[in-house]
Structure 1
Amino acid sequence: MNYYFKFKSELEKRHLWEVFIYLFFGGLATLVNFITYFVARDTLNLNLFTSNTISWIAAVLFAFITNKLWVFQSKSENFLELSIEFAKFIFYRILSYGIDMGVMFLLIEGIGVSDFWSKLITQIIVVIANYLFSKLFIFKPKDKIV
């Protein structure tokens, strides 16, 4: 555990801890997305759109919880504040979902890239976009009144 605190302390000194922890949980969200997608497609025999939608919903719910609690450590004063934060989160995730679907369609149908590689490429793009959305628009620190 001592190595963990040393590692965290070094990253915090360089202002990289938030990025690291975001990428860690982003990687887990990507894993949730991948597993759910291929289970829906291969086990349930669902089409590309339905499989991708199910995987997106699972990853978004996972990401909201991890982003709120561990990445940005956002505190909500009341249910309304939590609801607004969740609504913003959903709005920006719908935007990134559009990016995900558009790029997947372009890569698979337009260029002929396999769905595995298309999914991998889109997830890299989506993780970057979602970090920026979360940092700049969703979990930004509340202004303090002094």
Structure 2
Amino acid sequence: MKKYIKAFFDNEILSYLFFGVATTLVYILTRTSLFLVISHILTVVFIANCIAILFAFVTNDQVVFKQEWAGWPGRLLKFISARMATLLLDMLLAYVLVDAFPQLIGQFVNQDPASINAIATLISQVLVIVLNYVLSKLFIFQNKKENS
């Protein structure tokens, strides 16, 4: 069993997907929890993204792309910069689908704000995961550990 788990995490794409799902769960749990106590959707999305970005950096840097410890501050800055693009995309989708035109999703969920937010979250996260992998692979994580 240990051999299969190691093989799974040695596969970059499978490992990225695993931690992408974990990051998405961190994001969704944070966003849906905060939405219960903060009514301003853009504030909720921003805070949830900040928490998810930090979680994603650590897992991507050390587990997925197996980076040397040296140079992590520079990678973190690049990572945050790249994630700002997906943060803006997420905020745009939240604004359009939850604030400006909630009826687009609401017509299917009896106009329930929590359900509208949950569905909008899932839609945006599919787009965000794909875009984040491309940005990470091409621009951020390039100095692998010697013994990986």
Bin of the TM-score, shorter chain as denominator length: 0.7 to 0.9
Shift of 1:2: 4.7
5+ residue gaps, structure 2, are 106-115
Corresponding residue number in structure 1 for 2:49: 56
Partner of residue 45 from structure 1, selected from 8, 14, 38: 38
Whole-angstrom distance in 2 between the partners of 1:72 and 1:56: 21
| SS at structure 2 position matched to 1:112 | helix
Q: Report the TM-score when normalising by structure 1.
A: 0.82
Letter in 1 for 2:51: A
**Partner of 1:87 in structure 2?**
77
Cα shift at 1:102: 1.1
Gaps of 5+ in 1: none
**Aligned residues, how many?**
133
Q: Are positions 1:112 and 2:111 aligned together? A: no
**Equivalence map 1:65-76=2 (5 Å):** 65-76=58-69
Residues of 2 paired with 1:140 and 1:41: CA distance? 37
Say which is worse superposed, 111-120 or 130-139, in terms of deviation: 111-120
CA distance in 2, matches of 1:51, 1:95: 17
Moved more, 99-108 or 83-92: 99-108
* CA RMSD, 1 decimal: 2.2
Distance 2:34 2:94 in 1: 16
- Counterparts of 1:131 and 1:58 in 2: how far apart (Å)? 18
Could you tell me which amino acid in structure 2 is paired with residue 57 of structure 1? C
Aligned to 2:138: 136
Q: Which has the higher contact order (CA 8 A, sep 6+)?
A: 2
Residues 94 and 73 of structure 1, relative CA distance in 2, 3 Å threshold = same
Sequence identity (%) = 33
Cα offsets for 1:78-114 (capped at 9, x unmatched): xxx2211110000001111011111222223236321
